[in-house]
Amino acid sequence: MTTDSSSDRGPSPDGELARAEASVEAHSASLTKALGVRDLALTQILFIVGLAWIGVAGKLGPQHVVLWCLALVLFYLPSAAVVMYLNRLMPLEGGLYQWAKLGFNGTIGFLVAWNLWLYVMLYTSQIGLQTASYLSYALGPRAAWMTTSNWFVPLASGIILSLMVVMSTIGLSIGKWVHNAGGVMMLIIFGVLLLLPVLALLTGNLQEYHPLRTRVPDFTAYNLNILGKMGMGALSGFEYVAILAGETRAPSRAVGRSVLIAAPVIALMFVLGTSTVVALVPADQIDLVGPLPQVLRIGFAPFGIASQIVTLAILMTLAMRVAQVSVSFTAVARLPMVAGWDRLLPEWFSRLHAKYRTPVNSIALVGVCSFLFSLLSLVGVGQAEAFQLLFNASGMFYALTYLVMFAIPLFGLRGLAQRPPLWLRALSMSGLAMTVLYLTLSIFPIIDVTSVAGFALKITLVIVGANAVGIGLLVSARRRAVRIE
């Protein structure tokens, strides 16, 4: 199957940019084109919607509507617009890596891929512990031992990651159905969630329900922190499926259409989902770890089926979480492959499976590294500060890639005869400012720690040290490439 025609690619960059794009498309030609608009839209919904955010925003009470709207205007819409523009211009396997490489240079492109890779490694490292936690909630007190077991958590991590390696090797012709199912389950659970206040009103268990009732938020450091988290933290992710552009049918059109379909659905899910939490749970009693089971238990309690509903919801949430990790795993496993195309990694990482046409060696590498990270993440489990450090660091690795993405229309793409339109640059500036806000505030903890300054120093050293390692790998790769030439 061939790649997109030039008419599908949209605006054609000229000169060196066009030649680089043609090289990537030549490599992508042998990949199986398994994804369509429906697959991408459901994957967007699955990947972006985080259930915990309706609890975080619910703590704000009626202020949440204004802050959600601000986050949507200042970050969400800019990110959607920039992703659609860049993907239309460069619909290439590797997504943001390619945009950064062609929009700036190979060094920035590599660092984007490196930080995205680190983010996913930390993101997936908790899957075994989360599986144990969800199962202990679903099965009751008799399963509480799972979360502290020395063997169950590593075993769960190993089994799930092994299945992901197998599924990714077989390819998106199978994997997309797992992602689609996760997206459908997400829609079903949120549909039930949005019906709960209506049921409570009809049965007299709720006196009133005003989903869009709001109050102007106070201008405080806490609200500013939450705004940054609701932007970059909750509403990022549109660019992620673009990594799979080389495995998508007509990617320059399909990715953009998936964003247009998913964006309003995701926005309504966050705003109305938070309204349900505010309506049914007092702000000081909201469970930030598991707001969804808590709301379902309260909402269905009058009907005598709360226990069964919550158990089912927990199991569905676990399935969705595994599907979310599968999206991250599948996409990031392509980054060593495209780095191999650019000779930043040995050609071994770009070899495709003879039957399935997937980067089997690259997938194996990500699987092994994910498992090693999962084992390292168990060190110090139960220490809130260590968890907070890893959580903040993973978000900052991801935010650094967004910093570059928003900078491309502003400062990059020098090879284009026609600069990005003024409206897009204005949106990029807004998204860039929100990302900087998130990065700045993520240096500091939101829990009590021994020393705030010490915590900030630790996380700064983690971010700087990890990127120093990435730069070292890049320098080594370039020296090796010179010797080969």
The phi and psi torsions of 35 (rounded to 5 degrees) equal -100, 140
The CATH number of the domain covering residues in 33-484: 1.20.1740.10
Token readout for 374 is 């999962």
Q: Within 36-95, where are the H helices? A: 37-48, 53-58, 64-71, 77-89
Cα(335)–Cα(249) distance, integer angstroms: 19
* CB 180, CB 42: distance < 8 Å: yes
Cα(2)–Cα(436) distance, integer angstroms: 40
Dump pLDDT digits (tens) for 338-384: 888 888 888 888 888 888 888 899 899 888 888 887 777 666 544 45
Dump pLDDT digits (tens) for 159-200: 999 999 999 899 888 889 999 999 999 999 899 899 999 988
Cα(157)–Cα(373) distance, integer angstroms: 10
Sequence-distant (≥ 6) Cβ neighbours of residue 422 within 8 angstroms: none
Cα(340)–Cα(342) distance, integer angstroms: 5
The per-residue pLDDT for 484 is: 65
Share above pLDDT 70 across residues of the chain, in percent, rounded to a whole number: 91
- Residue 148 pLDDT grade (very low, low, confident, very high; cuts 50, 70, 90): confident
The per-residue pLDDT for 286 is: 84
Per-domain residue ranges of the chain? 33-484
Cα(270)–Cα(384) distance, integer angstroms: 27
Cα(465)–Cα(416) distance, integer angstroms: 35
The per-residue pLDDT for 339 is: 85
Three-state secondary structure call for residue 4: coil
* Whole-structure pTM value: 0.86
Report, as an integer, the average pLDDT of 425-443. 93
Dump pLDDT digits (tens) for 101-132: 999 998 999 999 999 988 888 878 778 877 88
The per-residue pLDDT for 4 is: 43
* CB 122, CB 397: distance < 8 Å: yes
Dump pLDDT digits (tens) for 205-262: 888 888 888 888 888 887 888 888 899 989 999 998 899 888 999 998 999 999 999 9
- Residue 297 pLDDT grade (very low, low, confident, very high; cuts 50, 70, 90): confident
The per-residue pLDDT for 68 is: 95
The per-residue pLDDT for 424 is: 96
Which string of b and e fits 423-432 if b means at least 16 CB within 10 Å?
A: ebbebbebbb
pLDDT higher than threshold 70 for residue 3: no
Report, as an integer, the average pLDDT of 276-282. 91
